[in-house]
Amino acid sequence: MNDDFFDPLREGRVPFTTVDGGVTAARGFRAGAISCGIKNPEATRLDLMLITSDVPTVTDAVFTTNKVRAACVRVSQQHIKDSDVRAIIANSGNANACTGPQGIQDAKAMCKATAEALGIRMRQVQVCSTGIIGMNMPIQRITPRVKELAEKLTPTGSDDASRAIMTSDTKPKTYSIEVPCGTGSFRVGGIAKGAGMICPNMATMLCFITTDAKISADELKRAMRSAVDQSFNCITIDGDTSTNDTVIVMSNGQADAPPIKKGSEEAKIFRCALHKVMLELAKMIVADGERVTKFVEIRVRNARTHADAKKAAEAVAKSMLVKCSWHGSDPNWGRVIHAVGYSGARLREELIDIYFGGLIACKGGLTSNTPVTELEKVVREPRFSVTIDLNQGSANHIVYTSDLSEEYVDFNSSEYSAAIHAKRQKGLA
Amino acid sequence: MNDDFFDPLREGRVPFTTVDGGVTAARGFRAGAISCGIKNPEATRLDLMLITSDVPTVTDAVFTTNKVRAACVRVSQQHIKDSDVRAIIANSGNANACTGPQGIQDAKAMCKATAEALGIRMRQVQVCSTGIIGMNMPIQRITPRVKELAEKLTPTGSDDASRAIMTSDTKPKTYSIEVPCGTGSFRVGGIAKGAGMICPNMATMLCFITTDAKISADELKRAMRSAVDQSFNCITIDGDTSTNDTVIVMSNGQADAPPIKKGSEEAKIFRCALHKVMLELAKMIVADGERVTKFVEIRVRNARTHADAKKAAEAVAKSMLVKCSWHGSDPNWGRVIHAVGYSGARLREELIDIYFGGLIACKGGLTSNTPVTELEKVVREPRFSVTIDLNQGSANHIVYTSDLSEEYVDFNSSEYSAAIHAKRQKGLA
């Protein structure tokens, strides 16, 4: 079996080059960040960032489906109705979630300060927060600093911005490409933060993407929904979704590539490019999940419908027993088949084949002849794929996930909580 | 807030006494167990058990909803169509799952040997297995020993039987009661095994219950379905369901209580009694889950519908982040409310109250004034309740669950898997 990881640009036969610059790789965007003491009182860690476009944009955003929504999400959802977004302001250290009317007031105050500093309207600002739930924002440390932040904006500020949204992430996440298109080219780049609580339908996950492609609001929306569905909605670390998840894509038309028209070859190229950037950022989020030691691409093949393929893949990705077995480098296909069995996907046990990497472990629902030592070699790698072929139809689905480690539990039960309590006692958000 | 744990007999105002005897507490039942070397080659651990009724029975059974079903489940599902079940034979050490036609043949061979030893028909035998998936049964070590096992049956054999079905359980699970009814009384008692993979809709979970009540097949079925729904389908440890789960209830009418008629006071008493026995066994399974250190009763109150209450309770019970917080004795209501938020239950964030034990932690979606140190005292206990009041309607649901420990991950990623590999290499199931 072919064991290459999935790549939307390779599938679409679209040439591209990776470039530096992240969220400021595209022309006409600037970014910057400062330390406000939201994350730590000494204010030694970047925790407030700003991204702007110098010119009008067409912007789309996708927000968490959690019914408990952070105040910043509510405000941004109102503001996105005006699609000429000029700025994204985001902080880490406090999620501004479960904060009631005060939270709404604080989110609006961040937009107002940004609008004033940049000379734009409040509704042209998107606001995002990530961090602790249920504490009021230390807003008096934030709004007075926004003007200073606006003065620090540069066309090379992506790196600072990517660091300012980190919470339990161990490294910044950034990816940007240049894609030939018509007689010119366009760029797409972004930054993201993830770590805990990563699951389909968005998580404590922020992703800001910019592009200089010339694209209509409708075409951008279509490309965005499709790319989110095949990237951020296909990752799971611990099955939780958060109150704050947001993906924003700003396009400002500054590229020399021709305008992207519905149904055109250029539209196909743009979709592949946006999908690629989101998928790379989504995979970085999984690989950097809290105390993750394995990155796994789960592919369900030949299901009766896409819904069946998705159910099966997600059940495997969310099974704690399966994730524990990977952590122990155990090619345990028994746990995989039983998760597939309870997933709700339509199947016939005697038709199921399961592969670790390119090697078959289970053939027709029974143990294969592949030596366990060979299968173990695959699962011992830090990155591998598991393929479940249902042999029932032709629908496929891929999910990206991780193992479950003792360190994950330890991290989420002791150190992290202790840190939160310490902050609560100091009145720090 | 009243913080007593839920009790169906107290709710129904039904007096009862706990009695010894487990699955042989009711009159006319016998049990026994032997070591066949399925669990370990030295055959020092009980791994094959038999339960019989001396007289005809009315029996009902509920099986796993996993689409990958063990061979023994398939055979038992065929046999249960004949409700005069006289015997249950069960082994631990090998699940006889993902074993194809050979597995079916082996399960039938176990029934045949039992029928011959007891002088009954094959279809009067239920067969259950629990243990490793995907290995053929060492059937040559089992069938020749069934006659010897049949000779060991005694009216006090419940304890041996309860030990013979243990896998990663740390202790046997047994519970039995006597309930006054009309001019006499009846008994209900049972044994169970659980540990890993415990989730609603059954798990690697076996439960055998006997009663000497006089009851019709229809009334038994109704009582059984209701009791299973409110006990075994309300527990979750790690969210997985298995290929082998089975609950069997045998009734033989040997009690001096009057026959139980549909809609009568006696029928109500019997339902409460069966619910109580199943709930106590289900709770023992959770408390003895793999490396569990906390037992938690999650109650969702005042949801719009029962389906909403159930969704909310199950999302909280299955959240790895919530379970980790309990493990660290952290009264983290933020993680609870965000699990409720993504559960799909209809809610209004500003109406949600959350309690740890009797203490309010979150009032109207915002942090309460209860000192964190008081809340921590509750969560530091080995058993506590978490109540989520949605203040939306009048539907309630309870789920029983546990924390998630580093030891769970360690157990399921290394030692256990290593043990399985060692067995596979020795050709031992």
- Nearest Cα residue in chain A from B331: A417
Does residue B410 belong to any structural domain of this protein? no
For residues A200 and A299, membership in a common domain is answered with: no
| Residue in A closest to B238 by C-alpha | A320
> What CATH number is given to the structural domain containing A63?
3.60.70.12
Contacts of A320 in chain B (CB under 8 A): 238-240, 320, 404, 408, 412
- Asked whether residue B169 falls in the same domain as residue B204, the answer is yes
CATH (domain of B379): 3.10.20.340
Q: Which residues of A35-74 are buried (b: 16+ CB within 10 A; e: fewer)?
A: bbbbbeeeeebbbbbbbbbeeebbbbbbbbebbbbbbbbb
Nearest to B275 by CA among B247, B311, B314: B247
Same domain, A186 and A256: yes
Number of structural domains in chain A: 2
More confident residue, A59 or A236: A59
Question: What pLDDT score does A199 carry?
Answer: 37
Tell me the C-alpha distance between B277 and B26, whole Å.
13
Distance from CA of A112 to the nearest CA of B (A): 25
CA–CA dist B330, B325 (Å, integer): 5
Q: pLDDT higher for B353 or A329?
A: B353
Band of pLDDT at residue A166, cut at 50, 70 and 90: very high
In-domain check, residue B7:
no
Note whether A324 contacts B349, CB cutoff 8 Å. no
SS3 A404: coil
Q: What is the structure's pLDDT at B38?
A: 93
More confident residue, B19 or A42: B19
DSSP E strands, A135-183: 173-181
Residue A428 is predicted with a pLDDT of 40
Check CB contact under 8 Å for B406 and A404: no
* Of B201, B242, B349, Cβ closest to residue A338: B242
**For residue A101, with 0-12 CB atoms within 10 Å meaning exposed, 13-18 middle and 19 or more buried, which class applies?**
exposed
In b/e form, how buried is each residue of A193-212, taking b as 16+ CB within 10 angstroms? Answer: bbbbbbbbebbbbbbbbbbb
- Same domain? B104 vs B176: yes
Strand B173-181 relative to strand B125-132: parallel, antiparallel, unpaired? unpaired
Mutate to test the interface with A, among B106, B321, B327, B392 (most CBs of A within 10 A): B321
Domain end, chosen from A259, A287, A315, is at: A287
Q: Which residues of A touch B401 (CB under 8 A)?
A: none
Q: Is the CB of A321 less than 8 angstroms away from the CB of B238? A: yes
In a domain, B158, yes or no: yes
Write down the pLDDT at residue B289: 75
Residues A286-321: pLDDT tens digits?
A: 888 767 889 999 999 999 999 999 999 999 998 888
Q: What is the dihedral of CA A14, A20, A22, A25, to 10 degrees?
A: -80
Active site residues of A: 204
Q: Which residue of B has its CA nearest to A326?
A: B413
Residues of B in contact with A341 (CB under 8 A): 66-69, 243
Q: Are residues B300 and B379 in the same domain?
A: yes
* Gap between the Cα atoms of A207 and A165, Å rounded: 10
What is the distance between the alpha carbons of residues B170 and B168, in angstroms, rounded to a whole number? 6
**How close is the nearest chain A Cα to the Cα of B235, in Å?**
16
Same domain, B166 and B300: no
Report the gap between the CA of B291 and the closest CA in chain A (Å). 12
On average, the pLDDT of chain A sits at 89
- B252 and B371 part of one domain: no
Which chain A residue's Cα is nearest to B350? A100
Q: Please answer yes or no on whether A134 and B367 come within 8 Å at the CB atom.
A: yes
Please state the φ and ψ torsions of residue A55, each to the nearest 5 degrees: -125, 170
In the Cβ-directed half-sphere of B200, how many Cα atoms lie within 13 Å? 16
| Rounded Cα gap, residues B58 and B63, in angstroms | 17
Average pLDDT over residues A39-63: 94
How many Cβ atoms are within 10 Å of A367's Cβ, its own excluded? Answer: 19
Q: Has residue B394 been placed in a domain? A: yes
pLDDT of residue B2: 59
B384 and B358 in a common domain = yes
How much is the pLDDT for A384? 95
pLDDT exceeds cutoff 50 at A96: yes
Position B418 in a domain: no
Which chain B residues contact residue A403 at CB under 8 A?
413
A97–B414 CB contact, under 8 Å: no
**Final residue in a domain of this structure, among A256, A287, A318:** A287
- With CB atoms and an 8 Å threshold, state whether A409 touches B404: yes
- Determine the structural domain holding residue A280 and report its residue range: 8-287
Identify which of B100, B134, B320 has the shortest CB distance to residue A239: B320
Q: Rounded distance, CA B234 to CA A248, Å? A: 40
| Residue owning tokens 């289970």 | A362
Do the Cβ atoms of B424 and A372 come within 8 Å? yes
Phi then psi for residue B211, to 5 deg, are -145, 150
Name chain A contacts of B97, Cβ cutoff 8 Å.
334, 338
**A98, A318, A334: residue with CB nearest B365:** A98
Together in a domain, A119 and A268: yes
Sort out which chain B residues have CB atoms less than 8 A from A325's CB and list them: 412-413, 417
Contact by Cβ (8 Å): A48, A36: yes
Which residues of chain B, if any, have pLDDT below 50? 197-203, 415-416, 418, 424-429
| Optimal mutation site among B346, B377, B412, B421, interface A, most CBs of chain A within 10 A | B412
Distance separating alpha carbons of residues B306 and B30, to the nearest angstrom:
40
Instruction: Compare all CA atoms of chain A with the CA of B404 and give the residue at the minimum distance.
Output: A409
A410 or A175, which is more confident? A175
The size of chain A, in residues, is: 429
Closest CA to A86 of A131, A44, A116, A63: A116
With an 8 Å Cβ cutoff, are A135 and B367 in contact?
Answer: yes
For A405, name the nearest residue in chain B, comparing CA atoms only. B409
Q: What pLDDT does residue B152 have?
A: 96
How many Å apart are CA A195 and CA A293, to the nearest integer?
Answer: 13
Strand A17-18 and strand A173-181: the pairing is antiparallel
Residue A235: name the closest of A301, A178, A280, A189 by CA. A280
Contacts of A404 in chain B (CB under 8 A): 320, 409, 413
User: Which residue ranges of B are tagged as binding site for substrate?
Assistant: 167, 193, 204, 290, 412
Show the DSSP H helices in A3-129 as ranges.
8-11, 71-79, 100-118
Contacts of B290 in chain A (CB under 8 A): none
Residues facing B353 on adjacent strands: B389
What confidence score (pLDDT) does residue B425 get? 45
Shortest CA distance from B368: residue in chain A: A134
More confident of the two residues A196 and B159:
B159
Q: How far is B339 from chain A (nearest CA, A)?
A: 7
Three-state SS sequence of chain B: CCCCCCCHHHHCCCCCEECCCHHHCCCCEEEEEECCCCCCCCCCCCCEEEEEECCCCEEEEEECCCCCCCHHHHHHHHHCCCCCCCEEEEEEEECCCCCHHHHHHHHHHHHHHHHHHHCCCHHHEEEEEEEECCCCCCHHHCHHHHHHHHHCCECCCHHHHHHHCCCCCCCCEEEEEEEEECCEEEEEEEEEECCCCCCCCCCCCEEEEEECCCECHHHHHHHHHHHHHCCHHHEECCCCCCCCCEEEEEECCCCCCCCECCCCHHHHHHHHHHHHHHHHHHHHHHHCCCCCCCEEEEEEEEECCHHHHHHHHHHHHHCHHHHHHHHCCCCCHHHHHHHHHHCCCCCCHHHCEEEECCEEEEECCEECCCCHHHHHHHHHCCEEEEEEECCCCCEEEEEEEECCCHHHHHHHHHHHHHHHHHHHHCCCC
B201 backbone φψ class: left, alpha, beta (φ>0; ψ -120 to 50) = left
Residue A115 is assigned to a structural domain of this protein: yes
**Cα A192–chain centre separation:** 6
Is B322 part of any domain?
A: yes
- Does B67 contact A413 at a Cβ distance shorter than 8 Å? no
> Closest Cα of chain B to A360: distance in Å?
14
8 Å CB contact of A240 and B338: yes
pLDDT (0 to 100) of residue B67 = 86
Indicate yes or no: CB of B333 within 8 angstroms of CB of A366: no
Q: Are residues B39 and B188 in the same domain?
A: yes
Residue B98 and residue A133: Cβ atoms within 8 Å?
Answer: no
- Chain A hits for B304, CB-CB cut-off 8 Å, are none
Please name the member of A341, A365, A410 whose beta carbon is closest to the beta carbon of B406: A410
Q: Does A119 share its domain with A211?
A: yes
Token code pair at residue B411: 């157990």
pLDDT tens-digit map of A111-164 = 999 999 999 999 999 999 998 888 899 999 999 999 999 999 999 999 999 999
Residue A65 phi/psi, 5-degree rounding, is -95, 0
Nearest to A417 among B69, B330, B345 (CB): B330
- Is residue A377, in this structure, part of any structural domain at all? yes
Task: Report the distance separating Cα B290 and Cα B104, nearest Å.
Answer: 29
Select the residue of B324, B333, B338 nearest A66 (Cβ to Cβ).
B338
Question: Mean pLDDT across the stretch A41-60?
Answer: 95
> Is A167 labelled a binding residue?
yes
Nearest to B241 among A199, A342, A410 (CB): A342
Residue that is last in its domain, among B287, B318, B352: B287
Same structural domain for residues B241 and B345? no
